[in-house]
Amino acid sequence: MNEHDIRQALEPFRLGKMLDGVHVQAGLVQISLAVKKADVATLTPLKTKMEETLAKLPGVKNAAVIFTAQRETPPPPKPASPILPGVKSVIAVASGKGGVGKSTIAVNLAVALAQTGLKTGLLDADIHGPSLPRMLGISGKPKVENGLMQPLHAWGLTCMSIGLLVDEETAMVWRGPMVMGALTQLLTQVAWGELDVLVIDMPPGTGDVQLTLAQKASLAGAVIVSTPQDIALIDARRGVKMFEQVQIPIIGIVENMSVFACPHCGETTNIFGHGGAKAEAERIGVPYLGAIPLLLDIRETADAGTPICAADPASAAAAAFRAVAAKLAITLATPQRAAPRIVIE
Ligand SMILES: Nc1ncnc2c1ncn2[C@@H]1O[C@H](COP(=O)(O)OP(=O)(O)O)[C@@H](O)[C@H]1O
Ligand SMILES: [Mg+2]
């Protein structure tokens, strides 16, 4: 008994768009239906009928149908982050796990946003693996003026990295509260100035540090980075759940290391598969922002401190980043944010 079988069994109900989710595990089936609050009473008999039908299927131990609702009136736009009063929107680039290209994407998206004329900042908050100094080619302890750390400027960005303040071995042994203290300082004790958007390269994972940082920075939204393999997508899903839990809208999922084009013969190979993130985004109902190819140039420019969007704006890689940045900019310009899903029964 799998999701496909359940969806097939539900076909006679002609649920269409109302069918919001199907979850099957070890004979337990959970269906969510997106409905208006006012329709709950009318739809209750349907819900009962569905549960009865599903419970009769071989291999189903229990079937439950729940009603979920998109909020009917859009939530008021979030006030600008109270601890970053000069910053219009703060967005996070996050991933369930490290090594998927989160920093590469954060850096290049920030450069691409700056190239559209937005005043853009970039904060490297990845306390256990800061990579902005290397990727942007910046170094040196930040100066302090009037009690505030002065951000550095590179590639049109205003930037700061935890890596400029502490060495990696020191940060590695810090416990939660110390990590949080350091991250709070990066938000509040840096002279960020007036920015249209601040991109945060989040620490990978979905623990307390990530949650607290997301809330403190009062994020306007989060971009989730995943490679196409199932195993990475499971982590991406965790990331989506984490932000939904604190009602931070998911701006969308980006697939990284998607198609590999051989620099010698031009042949394309899907080393980690392809299209997994798009399918996953559709499945969990969050926007898909596009795919970034796996390219030697992306890695080499990142290692050289010259992000590809700045170093070679005419390249296919830069165009892929710009396409994602354009979708992001549209989301930021739209006051109505995606409403969090809420269970209404
Ligand atoms: N699309 C890509 N093509 C080629 N190399 C990539 C790509 N994305 C990331 N990389 C490389 O993969 C490594 C890990 O990426 P990084 O951005 O540091 O990941 P994370 O921040 O998720 O740990 C880096 O060496 C980076 O240059
Ligand atoms: Mg990183």
Q: Which of 83-97, 111-125, 265-279 has the lowest mean pLDDT?
A: 265-279
Question: In this structure, which ligand is nearest to the CA of 104?
Answer: 1
Q: What is the structure's pLDDT at 129?
A: 86
Q: Average of pLDDT values for 121-140?
A: 93
Q: What is the structure's pLDDT at 97?
A: 86
- Nearest one of 248, 255, 261, 212 to 100, comparing CA atoms: 255
User: Residue 269's pLDDT band (boundaries 50, 70, 90)?
Assistant: confident
- 126 half-sphere exposure, CB direction, 13 A CA radius: 28
* Whether pLDDT at 218 is above 60: yes
- Residue 319: CB atoms within 10 A of its CB come to 12
Q: What is the structure's pLDDT at 345?
A: 44
336 compared with 322, residue with greater pLDDT: 322
* Whether pLDDT at 174 is above 80: no
Residues 258, 291 contacting (CB under 8 angstroms): yes
Q: Average of pLDDT values for 270-288?
A: 83
Full-model pTM: 0.76
Which of 93, 100, 102, 104 to mutate for ligand 1's pocket (most ligand atoms within 8 Å of CB)?
Answer: 104
- Nearest one of 262, 249, 293, 261 to 275, comparing CA atoms: 293
- Which residue, by CA, sits nearest to atom 26 of ligand 1? 299
* Whether pLDDT at 79 is above 70: no
- Which residue, by CA, sits nearest to atom 15 of ligand 1? 101
Question: In this structure, which ligand is nearest to the CA of 130?
Answer: 2
Mean pLDDT of the chain: 88
- Which residue, by CA, sits nearest to atom 17 of ligand 1? 101
- Which atom of ligand 1 lies at the shortest distance from residue 257's CA? 1
* Whether pLDDT at 203 is above 50: yes
- Distance from the CA of 155 to the center of ligand 1, in angstroms? 19
- Which residue, by CA, sits nearest to atom 3 of ligand 1? 294
The alpha carbon of 62 is separated from its chain's Cα centroid by a whole number of angstroms, namely 33
* Whether pLDDT at 77 is above 60: no
Q: What is the structure's pLDDT at 263?
A: 74
Task: Return all residues near 173 (Cβ < 8 A) that are at least 6 apart.
Answer: none
263 compared with 66, residue with greater pLDDT: 66
- Distance from the CA of 168 to the center of ligand 1, in angstroms? 19
Which residues does a 6 A CB cutoff place in the pocket of ligand 1? 95, 98-104, 129, 131, 256-257, 292, 294-295, 298-299, 302
Q: Which two tokens stand for residue 63?
A: 């079937």
User: Residue 76's pLDDT band (boundaries 50, 70, 90)?
Assistant: low
User: Residue 258's pLDDT band (boundaries 50, 70, 90)?
Assistant: confident
Question: In this structure, which ligand is nearest to the CA of 256?
Answer: 1
- Which residue, by CA, sits nearest to atom 24 of ligand 1? 299
* Whether pLDDT at 332 is above 90: no
pLDDT single digits (tens) 4-43: 999 999 999 999 889 988 998 888 999 999 888 888 889 9
Q: What is the structure's pLDDT at 200?
A: 97
* Whether pLDDT at 73 is above 70: no
Question: In this structure, which ligand is nearest to the CA of 105?
Answer: 1
Which of 268, 269, 299 to mutate for ligand 1's pocket (most ligand atoms within 8 Å of CB)?
Answer: 299
pLDDT single digits (tens) 282-319: 888 899 999 999 999 999 999 999 999 999 999 999 99
* Whether pLDDT at 132 is above 50: yes
